[in-house]
């Protein structure tokens, strides 16, 4: 699997409205352990990587920009609701910036929270990915 992968989620619309299903087995190769969402985002979120944790991020409302670094290169993409998602593997630096006022970022994680799994210093991240 790549370090990260962007998805456009399917949408089914009829006279009742729209439905966006999330068949997790099609987007992630692990069992979800934790779900959280970020709202009222004033500054950037993320700014770290995980040694083992993988995450699926979904822009479910508004818009934001995701910045990803795989140890070699930066990738930046604007995500807009409600169909944009990105799977981020472990050891990928991820940041979310430029949130619209109404933005909601949903995260589905492969692990329960573990503070020891985080690398919060970018130079340390580069050092660990390029060993």
Over residues 14-53, the pLDDT tens digits come to 999 999 999 988 889 899 999 999 999 988 999 999 999 9
Q: Which of 48, 69, 87, 94 is catalytic?
A: 48
Helix residue ranges, H only, the chain: 122-129
Instruction: Please give the pLDDT value at position 131.
Output: 67
Give tens-digit pLDDT for 78-110.
999 999 999 999 999 999 999 999 999 999 999
In a domain, 61, yes or no: yes
pTM for this prediction: 0.93
Q: What is the pairing mode between strands 118-119 and 84-88?
A: unpaired
pLDDT greater than 70 at residue 70: yes
- Provide the CATH number for the domain around residue 74: 2.60.120.10
Identify whether 89 is part of a domain. yes
Q: Please report whether residue 55 resides in a domain.
A: yes
Domain tally for the chain? 1
The C-alpha atoms of residue 21 and residue 44 are separated, in whole angstroms, by: 28
48 is catalytic: yes
């Amino acid at each position: 699997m790549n370090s990260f992968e962007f998805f456009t989620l399917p949408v089914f619309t009829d006279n009742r409205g729209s439905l966006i299903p999330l068949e997790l087995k099609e987007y992630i190769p692990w069992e979800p352990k934790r779900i959280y969402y970020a709202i009222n985002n004033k500054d950037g979120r993320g700014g770290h990587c995980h040694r083992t944790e993988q995450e699926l991020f979904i822009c479910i409302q508004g818009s934001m920009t995701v910045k990803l670094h795989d140890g070699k290169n930066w990738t930046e993409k604007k995500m807009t609701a409600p169909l944009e998602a990105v799977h981020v593997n472990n050891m990928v630096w991820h940041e979310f910036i430029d949130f619209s006022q109404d933005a909601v970022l949903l995260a589905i994680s492969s692990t329960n929270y573990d503070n020891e799994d985080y690398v919060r210093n970018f130079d340390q991240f580069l050092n660990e990915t390029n060993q």
